[in-house]
Each structure stands twice: as structure tokens, then as C-alpha cells.
Amino acid sequence: MAAYDRSLPPPPREYGRGPPAFDRLQRGGPGGYSGPQTAAPVPPMAPAGPPIPTIPPIDREKTCPLLLRVFPAINGHHRLDDYQTRGQEPAGEVQVYTWPDATLRELTDLVKEVKSEARRTTAKFEFAFVYPDRRGRNVLRQVGATHSTRPSDDDLKTLRELNFQTGDFLDVAIF
């Protein structure tokens, strides 16, 4: 390793206190920073996939409601075996006439009217659809959860958004 030769003068500094290359970057010049650059405007991003179709609102005065068969249960959902035989569904069924744009909050309020356990301020509701799959076996699909008194993320989900089909059962677990 060579020792520093103190007999030579230090290299000249061109502009200021820092090394020459650093000063050129600060002050501009050949290959240096010359201020903020303005780029061409970026075109807006195109939406991914086909456009989402807008669903027209339902006029509840002119549209016939559908029958929704609701099966509330305390401390958990009913077993799938309880739905196996048509005509022998679980006891405590609540039949509700409603529209596809009904929200889970509306259904929560309807269940609270008929089930005293659901009126507790701490009650939590979990909703699931029960329907037959392609092989004819029943499937229980969780679709949302609400709270008796507090707002939740699922309050505004509608039956239509959750892909409810006429003939499906609604199983409601109340905790």
C-alpha cells in the first residue's frame, strides 16, 4: 500500500466544499443535476377486464317479493344433515317475504323481531346460504356477519351481491 505523498498539493476543488464530482451534481453541468424534470403526463390506467354492469335498483312497489326461508339457531349453524330431507328442515323456521336488494342489516332486524335471544346488545349474527351443489348434496356457504347493535362491514351486503338464488335457505347462527 502506497503512503500518501504530502509533497503533492491536494487536487483543486472546482466549485465549493465537496469533491468536484459532488459539486457538479449539485450545481448542474455536464452530467450533473439540473433541477426538477417534467415528464410527459401518464395516461390513465385502463380498467382490468370487462366493465362491471350496473344493476338497476329494484322498485319494491312494483316488484313482487321472494320467499326467503330463514333458519335461526343459537350458538352455531344447523348441521347440513338437518336440511337433507325436503319437508323436514330444522324447527323454528321464519318465512320472510323480501327482495333481492335486502341487506344483511335488514335481515338482522327481522330476526331480532322474532327471536328474543337475538335482541341482546351483544348478539352476533353469522349468515350462511344452504343450497344443493351439482351432485345434489347440500352446501353451507358463509356469506357475512353482523352485530345486534353495532355497525359491521357486512351490513350493506345485499342478497343479490351475495349470489342468493330463489330456493336457497338462509341459516343464521346467533351467538
What would the pLDDT profile of 66-83 be if each residue is shown by its tens digit?
999 999 999 999 999 999
pLDDT of the residue at 166: 94
**Longest C-alpha distance within the chain, in Å?**
106
Note the pLDDT of residue 133: 93
Residue type, 20: P
Checking if the pLDDT of 172 tops 60, the result is: yes
pTM for the whole thing?
0.69
**Structure confidence by residue, pLDDT tens digits, 136-161:** 999 999 999 999 999 999 999 999 99
pLDDT over 70 (residue 9): no
Q: Which domains does the chain have, with CATH numbers?
A: 66-174 (3.10.20.550)
Per-residue pLDDT, 39: 64
Sheet-wide strand order for 66-74: 94-98, 66-74, 169-174, 124-132, 138-147
pLDDT classification of 63: cutoffs 50, 70, 90 = very high
CA distance 123 to 121: 6
pLDDT at 138: 94
Place of cell 465549493: 16
Predicted pLDDT at 153: 95
Judged against a pLDDT cut of 80, whether residue 23 lies above it is answered with no
